[in-house]
Amino acid sequence: MVSSKETALTASFAALYAIFSLLPGLPIIGLPTLTIQLEAAMASVFGIILGPYLGALAALLGAILAWLLPPGSGSPFGMPFLFNPAINAFIVGLVYTGQWKKGFAVMAAVIAAFIFLPPSQPIIQYYYVAALVIWDKVIALLMIFPTIYLMKKYELSHVWSFVFYFFLAFIGNQADSALGCVIFAIPIVYNGIFGLTIDTVRYLFVVSPLVYPIIRLFQAIFAAIIAMSLVEALKNLGWPLPRS
């Protein structure tokens, strides 16, 4: 049963996501066309505060609001990726509440799915496309294990608490990225919506194996800072956190 407090916080977080989407992304030095979108990082915080299901719902509702409102304005280019923030919150929430095996299985399945999609096929010829796309996601997947180790520690120092929340956020943001890559690798998306050929899509996947992990890194740092402060504030207010 969802309490009125949980309903209110879910709605508030959804609105907060939409508000953050209106802010200009942080520019990356040397890559002016790419920015760090802060709203994507917030989805990890939703999973920590609300748990996997309400956190995913808040992220999904927030993404829909951000897509419908300007500057999104219901663009068909953003529609396929509406569930990306939700999987971030879902995976983070599962790991944070101790359901890490389920989170590991879901994230591993999403990562593996890319191997069987057109940009990686035939795999003997285009194995390098798959390798360049999933290497960082696999690292994030394996980071679940040290995250669980830290979670079992009864008391963590301030530094290790930050590391713990950073790991969670990086895992969640990479789950978002993994789903985004899978969606973009589907013909009805890359060709039907974006009008791109398979060769162009392969090129786009190959030229960005380092740029996007850096973006996810900064998003995780931002999310960890927010999560640490918010968790402490809610604990002081007596808010029942998923792992409390």
Rounded CA-CA distance 188/182 in Å is 12
- pLDDT at residue 118 in the model: 97
- pLDDT at residue 92 in the model: 97
Strand pairing partners for 35?
27
Whether residue 61 has pLDDT greater than 90: yes
- pLDDT at residue 115 in the model: 97
Q: What is the mean pLDDT of residues 210-234?
A: 86
Whether residue 137 has pLDDT greater than 90: yes
Whether residue 151 has pLDDT greater than 60: yes
Percent of the chain past pLDDT 70, that is, above it, reads: 91
Rounded CA-CA distance 170/133 in Å is 16
The tokens of 15 are what?
């609105």
Residue found under tokens 């978002």? 176
- pLDDT at residue 154 in the model: 67
Q: Domain coordinates of the chain in residue numbers?
A: 4-236
Q: Which residues contact 228 (CB under 8 A, 6 or more apart)?
A: 161, 162, 165
Least reliable range by pLDDT among 97-111, 119-133, 151-165, 184-198: 151-165
Whether residue 37 has pLDDT greater than 60: yes
In this prediction, residue 108 has a pLDDT band, given cuts at 50, 70 and 90, of very high
If you average pLDDT over every residue of the chain, what do you get? 88
Q: What is the mean pLDDT of residues 80-98?
A: 96
Whether the Cβ atoms of residue 60 and residue 85 lie closer than 8 Å to each other: yes
Q: What is the mean pLDDT of residues 160-177?
A: 95
Q: What is the mean pLDDT of residues 78-104?
A: 95
- pLDDT at residue 90 in the model: 98
Q: What is the CA radius of gyration of the chain?
A: 18
pLDDT in tens, 113-129: 999 999 999 999 999 99
Whether the Cβ atoms of residue 215 and residue 36 lie closer than 8 Å to each other: yes
Residue found under tokens 């989170």? 103
Considering only residues 33 and 47, tell me which one the structure prediction assigns the higher pLDDT. 47
Whether residue 241 has pLDDT greater than 80: no
CA distances from 21 to 42, 75, 190, 211 (A): 10, 14, 24, 21
Rounded CA-CA distance 57/46 in Å is 9
Whether residue 202 has pLDDT greater than 80: yes
pLDDT in tens, 2-34: 777 788 889 999 998 988 888 766 655 554 455
